[in-house]
Structure 1
Amino acid sequence: MDGRHRLKVWDPWVRLVHWAIVLLLPLQFWSAKTARFDLHVAFGYAMLALVAFRIAWGVVGSDTARFSHFLRSPAAALEHLRHVGRREAPVDVGHNAAGGWMVLALLLLLLTQAVTGLFADDGVLTRGPLAHLVGGAWNDRATAVHVRVFWVIAACAVLHVLAVLAYRKVLGRNLVAPMVTGSMEVPPGMQARAPRMGNPALAVALLAAAGGLVWWISTLKPASLFD
């Protein structure tokens, strides 16, 4: 034995949101490109519910899920990246200082895309459930932002994947396995306290509330597409 031990880091709720988003992003792109807009809208509702839940869980959830745990100063993020370049970055329990900002950026971008989709209107067949509440100019703005933000999200996703590969190559650390199993391998000599996991009943209640809110929003669409 070399003194390594395993530590539970990620709760199943964080992992559920993470992998569901990984699945939904290409499905949203595919459904839009193939004009399967009923599916595209359904995927968008699912994304909005997941992001809403993840934001709430980032306030009251497990230690490693909380924004207060992983959001540090921009200077700390830059210092972490410098350490990575020197192959001496410390092992973090949860998101590192740079990764924390990427998580926040992705959540805000996904929220922006989902919300603008609610007000978007392509003028032909697809109209968000709240599009009738604003004027045509705002519909056009929402539609434009909805389309363009996707490419920003895609760029951030690629950057995220490259960072994961760099950690594997430069530091020899596997960041994917902990997001699958929930546990990470702690190196010898590292004294780390196991993070507190969130209440499962609270997670279920928040997920149900997020889903219920999005379902209610979906019912606000007029009975006729052209009303």
Structure 2
Amino acid sequence: MKDQPARKERVWDPALRAFHWALATLVIANWLLGKFGPSIMTLHFWLGYAIIGLLAFRLIWGIVGPASARFGQFVRGPRAILSYARDMGRPQPSNWPGHSPVGALAVLAMLAILTMQVGSGLFADPDDYINVGPLASQVGSETSRAALRWHYRGADLIFVLVVLHVAAIVFYRLWKREDLVRPMITGWKWVRRR
């Protein structure tokens, strides 16, 4: 079956776009607070709680939201992922409807790492008696110290994922001549049905 010509379609719904930009803002702000913020992390905690709310929303929206937001619609199998990855080097737009198979992996990785990050923050205890996660008293000190270690490593991993995300956007814009930012603002994307 031959590919149809690309046409502009509404792909991203307003709730998903708001989620994306809110999550991006909160993650960057919280990363900066964690690395460079004050020694008392109250704002870091509150932003973390907001991220938990956003992740809960995304889980629900990934089940009941519009087709392009549903995990069952955009997560593909290994064959589709490998096929898409082979074609990524071609200097032409993919015009994939929604998340590409490789993009879907990135979404799942980011959501998983962020979930582990907020989870570890809830149980972390740095032994300073100030910045203790709200659930640290529910686990032993060894577990809360392990959660703290993961929280530090997770912050670095999130930084790497964000840099890769931005690099992918730049790659698509410059090499494949495909704008991924505008659709995440307007909801409209050039799509080629296969």
Q: Tell me the TM-score normalised to structure 2 length.
A: 0.90
Match of 2:37 in 1: 34
- Contact 1:9 1:93 survives alignment (8 Å): yes
SS at match of 1:10: coil
Q: Tell me the CA shift for residue 88 of structure 1.
A: 5.0
For 1:4 and 1:148, the matched residues in 2 are separated by 42
Question: Aligned residues, how many?
Answer: 187
- Contact 1:10 1:178 survives alignment (8 Å): yes
Match of 1:15 in 2: 17
Match of 1:60 in 2: 64
Unmatched 5+ stretches in structure 1: 193-227
Is 1:149 equivalent to 2:175 in the alignment?
A: no
Q: Which amino acid aligns with 1:155?
A: V
Q: Which has the larger radius of gyration?
A: 1
For 2:61 and 2:117, the matched residues in 1 are separated by 20
Deviations 1:161-207 (A, max 9, x none): 11111111121110000000111134xxx458xxxxxxxxxxxxxxx
SS at match of 1:185: strand
Q: Which amino acid aligns with 1:13?
A: A
- Contact 1:87 1:171 survives alignment (8 Å): yes
For 2:90 and 2:193, the matched residues in 1 are separated by 23
Deviations 1:53-93 (A, max 9, x none): 10111111110001111111233223212112133564211
Unmatched 5+ stretches in structure 2: none
For 2:105 and 2:123, the matched residues in 1 are separated by 27
Q: Write the mapping of 1:96-135 to structure 2, written as runs, cut at 5 A.
A: 96-124=100-128, 125-135=130-140
Match of 1:179 in 2: 184
Matched-pair identity in % = 38
Q: Tell me the TM-score normalised to structure 1 length.
A: 0.77
